[in-house]
């Protein structure tokens, strides 16, 4: 008899353990939490993007029946500022507001209505100032007001390689293309608004149940602001309704905790959709100027780029976003001579930070548009010029880092080319404008476009990035059972499933439970940077391996033969050839084997401040898209007909979850291409609602073809490659290229709006 | 105001409900049924979809008072996991799951109205339900899967052998 590998292990797609409560409507999201006697919190936010606060009168608010506390910056018990990288963000505005929607005061009341009335009753005397809203002026105009005392440059990261400025080098290029590109401000638009519950504890501490991406980073920022010792801030993950980067920064956590500690009662805060648009950072809008030079055969000679990223009022993760934009700014291409300057700015626009793709999305739109512009100049196929310059294993990145793992970019293009194109438009097909019935098809043109991107996986630039897992094995009722406990945030991506799969594979046990994530176990790092399968997956694997060794020792102590090469499968210790040796339950008896392990990826280094040289990244991941669109060139309406994608993931851990990540990431890229933008005018957000900020509906999304490659990365657990972000990079430029193909327009800005297509078309018709 | 209605087959009432309360808020706060979700409260996302007298509605757009004396059925009242819920699980149509309760009700309505919805019908029927995680592909798979399971159940229970099956893809109304 040979024992087979565990079902529902890695490579399978078992039903997700949180799936059943989610389909039944029984899953406890942060906004669903209630405890008896809890109060409801609400936030007063600044109506101005830049103003001095002359005075705040909370008296009228306190006079409202049911109001228990009204707090301002004066009431912050500890440190007044917090932040993920730089601690520059006040818990509540301190004498000055720097963006539209900045929290100024907080209220706790017996019910939501009283809390909202109290917020409206607070009287704030503002001296309104002219906001700093122009990105370029904020960075380079010496007369621009400073948003913070240290100036408006959060980070300038140059990258220099070769001699891009040398006229002799430039002369080698047969064709040179210079263009400017812009990317609008995208919102994560997770469906579950910010929410959480703070419960004051008898020991003077606070227990927080929140929807977040990184429990320990939250706690580390919260405790100093509350003036509490770190161990007095205990965090438990509440159900998370999507994240996409928007829950990296704190939102209501410190506010709810302040109100709970002040009133001695539990306080829940739940943002509505409008407040959510003000309650988290967004994707950095970008202005980028690129020059590409190439030989007649398409070989890139040099690239120069100036990348400006608007970080808004507070730093958030702008510093790291700039690092990504700089280091990944030419895309997955070999370029001998390059000069990149990436800047992150302070302005009085809404704060920007993490969103899926993190600094690699904006540049991908620009460099891919440049590749298309070169292809057009040279009369080449867009995939041919890309393949000619594509990186491969052994290539050197702009920062001098050698790509030492597989980078099958050229094969991805071949796969994309081999996927069938959709048939030509036929009678009865949905047209641009959809059920609006705006055309009979007379002005509709089809276009095809391509995009490919490069994304770093895990945290970069020398960050001490690790994850912790505790794995417990015991026997109950004669059957072995495993519990996996980490602090890793399940945000929807399916991490909770993958943790169980790894434990089943490593320990050969069917019964695996994944415990609620909380801070009673060590940090797992953030559910960000496509890193959790790699990092927490690696930690669970390491802890399982330690448990297995302990089990083998235990078995030997108890007189069982455990030969070299034995493993665990089917609830037994089995020999290398799969022969069962002894039941785990028999070995364990009443013993509990528990091991905790920290997992670290290989170290990374900083980028040189002047040259940007350094091996700053852990792993590189790639996805490529082909988009097919129909465009009504008279009305400017776009219908994406099909989106095909090829992605290399090293090793498929869970195909179903992986496909869901690729499809969902592709959809967010479509949103940025043709729909999504937070419109900011004079520093004010104009469309904070799902009526006016449009995310893709099921009618906006086309069918998606998909091919997944598995070229293992020897440095990564199971050879896997982080997968959540890459598809978000490349679908945007592919769609933009397809719209260009259909219209013949340059289209240097996303999202592409109807007027970007219709107005030039009408002008051309008039002038032509 | 006082509010009395039937929720998932049971008579429920609440005292001192603010007259402006939405059906969504009443369900969540007064009756403790948090399955329907509060994602936009503008009728744009469909996360709050429930049946009102058998028709799917955005409960955030219905005043609780409008539901007085009427029948409300929420995701908790589908008696699941039933075919649609099982299909969502099996097809990977659930990620963060915040849109799921509303989508489950919307799909439940669709597959009980239309026996074999084609892709265009599915997309049109679900155009009022936003999902930020999935890109909708696996939701479409789940609809097909649920519809097939219901058809199989139906043919097991009813169709006598030899009778022709209806063939139009968006044809017969079941209820």
Average pLDDT over residues A350-369: 98
Positive or negative: CA dihedral A685, A686, A691, A692: negative
Q: Which residues touch A580 (CB under 8 Å, ≥6 apart)?
A: A1, A3, A570, A572, A573, A574
Kindly list the residues from chain B whose CB atom is less than 8 angstroms away from the CB atom of residue A24: 35, 75-76, 80-81, 85
Which ipTM was obtained for this model?
0.97
Cβ <8 Å between A22 and B100? yes
CA distance A350 to A276: 12
Q: Do A699 and B124 touch (CB under 8 A)?
A: yes
CB A582 within 8 A of CB A563: no
Checking if the pLDDT of A365 tops 90, the result is yes
Instruction: Give contacts of B133 with chain A, Cβ < 8 Å.
Output: 242, 492, 660, 664
Q: Does domain A33-129+191-242+247-279 have CATH number 1.10.520.20?
A: no
Residue A277 confidence class, pLDDT cut points 50, 70, 90: very high
Three-state DSSP state, A259:
helix
Instruction: With 0.90 as the threshold, say if the pTM is over it.
Output: yes
Tokens linked to A305: 């780029």
Instruction: Give the residue extent of every domain in chain B.
Output: 3-74, 83-157
Give pLDDT, residue B169.
Answer: 40
Q: Do B124 and A435 touch (CB under 8 A)?
A: yes
Beta strands in A378-443 (DSSP E): none
> Using CA atoms, how far apart are residues A749 and A613, in angstroms rounded to an integer?
30
For residues A175 and A296, is the Cβ–Cβ distance under 8 A?
yes
Task: Name the CATH superfamily housing domain B3-74.
Answer: Beta-grasp domain (3.10.20.30)
Please confirm whether the linkage preceding B81 is cis (ω < 30° from 0). Answer: yes
Convert the pLDDT of each residue in A720-733 to its tens digit: 999 999 999 999 99
- The hierarchical CATH code for the domain B83-157 is 1.10.150.120
Mind listing the pLDDT tens digit for each residue in A620-662? 999 999 999 999 999 999 999 999 999 999 999 999 999 999 9
pLDDT tens digits, residue range B18-54? 999 999 999 999 999 999 999 999 999 999 999 999 9
Each residue of A96-138: pLDDT tens digit? Answer: 999 999 999 999 999 999 999 999 999 999 999 999 999 999 9
Alpha-carbon distance A761 to A765, whole Å?
6
B127/A699 CB distance under 8 A? yes
Give dist(CA A292, CA A175) in Å, integer: 8
- Which residues make Cβ contacts (< 8 Å) with residue A100, sequence separation at least 6? A46, A47, A48, A49, A278, A350, A683, A684, A685
Count CB-CB contacts under 10 A for residue A229. 12
Instruction: Give the start-to-end residue ranges of the domains of chain A.
Output: 19-27+466-600, 33-129+191-242+247-279, 282-460+607-767
Maximum C-alpha span of chain B? 59
Separation between Cα atoms, residue A590 and residue A583, nearest integer Å: 14
Q: What is the pLDDT of residue B159?
A: 54
pLDDT of A764 reads: 82
Judge whether A33-129+191-242+247-279 and A282-460+607-767 match in fold.
Answer: no
**What residue has token string 């597959």?**
B111
φ and ψ at residue A339, rounded to 5 degrees: -140, 110
CB spacing of B95 vs A18 below 8 angstroms: no
Residue with token string 């101005």: A48
d(CA A422, CA A725): 26
CATH number of the A282-460+607-767 domain: 3.30.365.10
CB atoms within 10 A of CB A616: 24
pLDDT surpasses 70 at A697: yes
Tokens 């997944």 appear where? A708
Per-window interface: B 58-97 vs A, CB < 8 A? 74-76, 80-81, 85-86, 88-92, 94-97
Interface test with B, best of A22, A66, A187 (most B CBs within 10 A): A22
Tokens 């049946």 sit on residue:
B51
Strand residues in A327-376 grouped as ranges (E): 337-345, 352-353
For residue A256, report the phi and psi dihedrals to the nearest 5 degrees. -65, -40
Q: For A623, what's the count of Cα atoms within 13 Å in the CB-facing half-sphere?
A: 39
Contacts of B42 in chain A (CB under 8 A): 273, 689-691
| CA–CA dist A362, A483 (Å, integer) | 41
Confidence check: pLDDT of A6 > 70: no
Query: How many angstroms separate the first and last alpha carbons of chain B?
Result: 35
Residue of A34, A244, A698, A705 for testing the chain B interface, max B β-carbons within 10 Å = A698
Share of chain A above pLDDT 70, in %: 99
Query: Under CATH, what is the fold of the domain A19-27+466-600?
Result: Aldehyde Oxidoreductase; domain 4 (3.30.365)
Average pLDDT over residues A2-18: 84
């Amino acid at each position: 008899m040979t024992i087979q590998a565990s079902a529902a292990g890695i490579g399978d797609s078992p039903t997700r353990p949180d799936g059943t409560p989610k389909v039944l409507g029984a899953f406890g999201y942060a906004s669903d939490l209630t405890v008896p006697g809890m109060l409801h919190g609400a936030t007063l936010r600044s109506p101005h993007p830049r103003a001095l606060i002359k005075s705040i009168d909370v008296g009228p608010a306190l006079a409202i029946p049911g109001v228990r506390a009204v707090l301002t910056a004066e009431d912050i018990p500890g440190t007044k500022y917090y932040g993920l990288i730089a601690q520059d963000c006040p818990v509540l505005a301190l004498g000055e507001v720097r963006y539209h929607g900045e929290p100024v005061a907080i209220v706790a009341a017996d019910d939501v209505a009283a809390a909202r009335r109290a917020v409206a009753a607070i009287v704030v005397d503002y001296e309104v100032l002219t906001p700093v809203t122009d990105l370029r002026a904020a960075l380079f105009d010496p007369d621009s007001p400073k948003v913070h005392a240290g100036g408006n440059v959060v980070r300038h990261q140059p990258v220099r390689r070769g001699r891009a400025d040398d006229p002799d080098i430039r002369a080698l290029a047969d064709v040179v293309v210079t263009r400017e590109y812009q990317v609008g401000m995208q919102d994560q638009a997770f469906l579950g608004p910010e929410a959480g519950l703070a419960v004051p504890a008898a020991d003077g501490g606070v227990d927080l149940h929140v929807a977040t991406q990184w429990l320990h980073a939250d706690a580390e920022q919260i405790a100093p602001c509350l003036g509490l010792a770190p161990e007095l801030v205990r965090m438990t993950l509440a159900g998370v309704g999507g994240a996409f980067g928007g829950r990296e920064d704190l939102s209501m956590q410190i506010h709810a905790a302040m109100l709970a500690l002040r009133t001695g009662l539990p306080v829940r805060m739940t943002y509505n959709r409008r407040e959510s648009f003000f309650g988290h950072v967004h994707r950095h809008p970008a202005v980028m100027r690129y020059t590409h030079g190439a030989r007649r055969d398409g070989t890139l000679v040099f690239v120069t780029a100036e990348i400006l990223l608007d970080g808004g009022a507070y730093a958030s993760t702008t510093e790291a976003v700039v690092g990504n934009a700089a280091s990944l700014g030419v895309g997955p291409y070999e370029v001998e001579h390059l000069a990149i300057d990436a800047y992150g700015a302070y302005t009085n626009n809404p704060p920007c930070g993490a969103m899926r793709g993190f600094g690699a999305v904006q540049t991908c739109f620009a460099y891919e548009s440049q590749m298309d512009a070169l292809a057009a100049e040279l009369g080449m196929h867009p995939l041919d010029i890309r393949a000619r310059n594509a990186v491969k294993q052994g290539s050197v990145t702009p920062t001098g880092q050698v790509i030492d793992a597989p980078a099958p970019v050229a094969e991805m293009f071949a796969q994309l080319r081999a996927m069938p194109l959709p048939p030509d438009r036929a009678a009865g097909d949905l047209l641009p404008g959809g059920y609006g019935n705006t055309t009979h098809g007379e002005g509709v043109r089809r276009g095809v476009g391509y995009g490919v991107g490069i994304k770093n996986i895990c945290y970069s630039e020398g960050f001490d990035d690790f994850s912790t897992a505790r794995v417990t094995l015991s026997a109950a009722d004669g059957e072995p059972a495993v519990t996996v406990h980490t602090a890793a945030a399940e945000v929807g991506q399916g991490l909770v499933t993958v943790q169980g799969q790894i434990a089943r594979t490593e320990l050969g046990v069917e019964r695996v439970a994944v415990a609620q994530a909380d801070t009673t176990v060590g940090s797992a790092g953030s559910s960000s940077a496509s890193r959790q399968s790699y990092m927490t997956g690696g930690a669970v694997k390491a802890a399982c391996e330690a448990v297995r060794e302990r089990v083998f020792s235990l078995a030997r102590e108890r007189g069982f033969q455990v030969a070299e090469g034995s493993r665990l499968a089917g609830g037994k210790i089995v020999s290398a050839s799969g022969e069962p040796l002894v039941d785990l339950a028999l070995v364990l008896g009443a013993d509990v084997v528990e091991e905790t392990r920290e997992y670290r990826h290989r170290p990374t280094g900083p980028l040189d401040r002047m040259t940007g040289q350094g091996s700053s990244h852990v792993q590189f991941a790639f996805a490529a898209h082909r988009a097919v669109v129909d465009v009504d060139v008279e009305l400017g309406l776009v219908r994406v007909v099909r989106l095909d994608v090829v992605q290399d993931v090293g090793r498929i851990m869970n195909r179903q979850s992986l496909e869901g990540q690729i499809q969902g990431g592709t959809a967010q890229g479509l949103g940025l291409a043709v729909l999504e933008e937070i419109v900011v005018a004079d520093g004010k957000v104009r469309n904070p609602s799902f009526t006016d900020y449009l995310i893709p509906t099921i009618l906006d999304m086309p069918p998606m073809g998909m091919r997944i490659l598995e070229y293992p990365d020897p440095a990564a657990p199971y050879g896997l490659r982080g997968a959540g972000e890459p598809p978000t990079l490349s679908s945007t430029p592919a769609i933009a290229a397809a719209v260009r193909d259909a219209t013949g327009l340059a289209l240097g800005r996303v999202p592409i709006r109807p007027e970007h297509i219709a107005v030039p078309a009408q002008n051309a018709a008039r002038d032509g | 105001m006082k509010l009395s209605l039937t929720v998932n087959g049971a008579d429920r009432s609440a005292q001192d409900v603010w007259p402006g309360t939405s059906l969504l808020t009443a369900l969540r706060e007064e009756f403790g049924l948090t399955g329907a979700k509060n994602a936009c409260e503008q009728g744009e996302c469909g996360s709050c979809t429930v049946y009102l007298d058998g028709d799917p509605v955005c409960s955030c757009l219905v005043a609780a008072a409008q539901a007085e004396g009427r029948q409300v059925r929420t995701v908790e009242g589908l008696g699941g996991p039933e075919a649609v819920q099982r299909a969502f699980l099996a097809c990977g149509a659930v990620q963060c799951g915040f849109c799921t309760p509303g989508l489950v009700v919307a799909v439940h309505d669709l597959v009980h109205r239309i026996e074999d919805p084609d892709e265009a019908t599915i997309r049109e029927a679900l155009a009022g339900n936003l999902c930020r995680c999935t890109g909708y592909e696996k939701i479409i798979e789940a609809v097909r899967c649920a519809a097939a399971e219901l058809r199989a159940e139906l043919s097991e229970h009813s169709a006598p052998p030899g009778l022709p099956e209806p063939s139009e893809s968006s044809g017969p109304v079941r209820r």
